[in-house]
Amino acid sequence: MNIVRIIVLAVAGIAALAAAFFVRGAMQPPAAEPAVEQVEAPAPAPQMRVLVAARDIGPGERVDAAAFRWTPWPEEAVIPAYLTQEGAPDALERLAGAVARSSFSAGEPVLDRKLVQPGDAGFMAAVLTPGMRAVAVPISARSGAGGFILPNDRVDIIATEDNERGVAAAIAVENVRVLAIDQTYSEEEDGAVVGSTATLELTQEQAREVSRAVAVGDVSLALRSVADTSGGPRLPDGRSGSASSSDDQVVRVIRYGNERRVALQGGAP
């Protein structure tokens, strides 16, 4: 057998083996792919819309509707004290004009007990600037600028007293904030507000000065321009009157049956 025949037989054998492997592979069924387990995503937790603070709110701050917003809240975490859009849909309008009793952080749920509405008990204490006092003085249309003085206006308090030389008038305290006229707390009033009592925000010493003026004479309120309201209330000599003086004394002077009260500064007449 020559070499050419041997090579032909070898190639034919290799081709036969290859064909056999090919036919065997084609006849076998394909291997099954492993099954992929389908995992369902958990259902989202039910939510409610809760009223929260839209920004930081300080104690004593008057708020409006823009100070709050509705936000989604997990239903299981909602407590009865929270204001929900389903239970209190008018909360934004109802709380506008209220005053914060204590502070709120942005995103904190709003509680009714942390806010006080005009006319509610404790409203005036919440409106007062820390360290100040609310003092009521009698007024009339004549002594109250014809009724055009409104809450949050600034006024000068003028004390008028009759004495043996006639009538004396002097400014008792300047640049005083008006908290209320009678029971009117809001400055959003149409026209004039004529009342019989004005509630003023004063320091402790200023409150004493105004009380003396009311006791010995009459007081009138002089309305200040909105361009002239910078700074807090002050006594005529420029002092704020924040420090109380324990040396001040009031003595009664009776002359010809008429009684007068005279204030002594530092114990000296």
pLDDT digits (tens, 9 = 90+) for 215-238: 888 888 998 988 888 878 888 876
Average pLDDT rounded to a whole number, residues 235-263: 54
pTM (two decimals):
0.56
Q: Which residues contact 176 (CB under 8 A, 6 or more apart)?
A: 154, 155, 156, 157, 200, 201, 202, 206, 233
The answer to whether residues 138 and 88 belong to one domain is: no
For the ranges 133-137, 154-158, 184-188, 218-222, which has the lowest average pLDDT? 184-188
Give yes or no for residue 133 having a pLDDT over 50: yes
- Which residues neighbour 193 within 8 Å (Cβ) at sequence distance 6 or greater? 147, 149, 150, 181, 182, 184
- Our count of domains for the chain comes to 2
Quick one: 135 and 121 in the same domain?
no
Q: Which domain holds residue 155?
A: 131-241
Say whether pLDDT at 85 is over 50.
Answer: yes
Q: Hey, which residues does 162 pair with through a beta bridge? A: 167
| In a shared domain, residues 120 and 154 | no
- Burial class of residue 180 in the structure, from the number of CB atoms within 10 Å of its CB (0-12 exposed, 13-18 middle, 19+ buried): buried
Read off the pLDDT band of 267 (50, 70, 90). Answer: very low
Q: Which residue has the tokens 């009138």?
A: 220
Report percent pLDDT > 90 for the chain.
Answer: 27
Tell me whether residue 160 is in a domain: yes
Read off the pLDDT of each residue in 231-254 and give the average, rounded to a whole number. Answer: 60
Last residue of a domain, one of 85, 102, 125: 125
Output the pLDDT for position 29: 62
Stronger pLDDT, 184 or 111, i.e. the higher one? 111
83 and 137 in a single domain? The answer is: no
pLDDT at 50: 96
Longest pairwise C-alpha distance within the chain: 168
Model pLDDT, residue 242 = 56
Verify that 104 and 135 share a domain, yes or no.
no
Inside any domain, residue 40: no
Are 104 and 53 found together in one domain? yes
Say yes or no: 231 and 136 in one domain.
Answer: yes
Residue 167 binned pLDDT confidence (cut-offs 50, 70, 90):
confident
Is the same domain home to 64 and 116? yes
Instruction: Flag whether 4 is in a domain.
Output: no
Mean pLDDT value across residues 147-168: 84
Higher pLDDT among residues 71 and 179, named by residue: 71
Pairing of strands 47-53, 197-202: unpaired
Return d(Cα 14, Cα 26) in angstroms, integer: 19
1: pLDDT confidence band, cut at 50, 70 and 90? low
Residue 148 and residue 90 share a domain = no
Q: Which residue has the higher pLDDT, 46 or 5?
A: 46
The answer on pLDDT for 146 being more than 70 is no
